[in-house]
Structure 1
């Protein structure tokens, strides 16, 4: 069984020196990679991660371990990916060159990416900006633009800055279109004070993407009290809740083994 795991948060570059990124450091992804590598059924793990995210066995030293982990580590291949373009490239390359049986998509991806910067310092700048936006939607307004440049890099000294963002591509189709028809496990991150919000979002994601199940992380609970709350949301409104990433990771791997085995049996019939 070969497993592809994505983990961490993508970066969306504002200019060559600045970027936007998420809060998710990939702890559960690293634990999941470690847990998968210990299973005899798993042959390869393709671990795609942002550069600042945790990865499997990063803090493990052979000197302080009572047994050898070489065999486990050898199963894991790391693929760094910071931007959505990096991520798409790495995933495409893996899927084109390897058989992938299971996908665990944990990386937090921005829904929108930066395309332009608009600096507003006076009335003429504001009119230009209004004219630009109205033109995108075909709204005819009686303002003549001054044709001022659209900046590509951050500049200081302006009263306001508007960062124009456009939707980023969705990667779920890359997984679905793979010839091996892998099992797909998606994820949803919540930063709301209401713990029910993460379950609502996870259920919507499950229905929309038709994945095997969703790993839902309550990041607000972690930020406030370091509570590692994880929900596994299954079809039919079945929900499993865990209070530690390690416990959730073990359960996810157990489910992967069970469902992979069931698929093999169905294929053999």
Structure 2
């Protein structure tokens, strides 16, 4: 049995750790490096997560072509491909996009004209990158790690999962690999005076993700199980004031009509994925 992969979930602060350390040093000589590290963190995040998500939705040859075509055009990666991968709107009239353009302008002047870097420059660039990482990370990074889990389960030789308890244990073990997340198993949630439990809640500090795991035994009931699980997860996440949830369904065999990719529900607030265990 191959080792379980790492769930690559990160907080914005974790991804900006190098830039933050440079800025916190107070040494103006390191401010330039802090700006370059910040922009690089955003570019690397998009490279790692967006194309992994696109691989689950588009022909791999097309994804490879898009990757090559936009290698020197990060604006297109951020404004076009990210929308396709995440379903999140990227509005070029928004404050989010305006912040990115200002950050990019500062980076370009620092690199190409040797402009002196101020503390205000560093703060603006880091704030913009942090905003983007927070906005995108809620959906695209979670989608990418769900696809990684799916590929590992379906492609690795291992004993089959026989019941829901084993499925929950596997999912918990997978997310435990992420240093960024604290995990609460069987988290209690109060909805309308009634107590319910979520299989687990992942806590990333500024954001949380509710996780529900299912193991439908009847192939002809899979779609109903996923649909009902999405509704239950939606009620629980709203009661717990959690922005994101995911439903992971383990199937002995994926029946016709059940999607092979990550599906989005409730405006992208809930993701679901079906994983074959045999």
What's the TM-score, normalizing by structure 2?
Answer: 0.28
Structure with higher strand content: 1
Q: Which of 1 and 2 has greater Rg? A: 1
What's the TM-score, normalizing by structure 1?
Answer: 0.28
Structure with higher helix content: 2
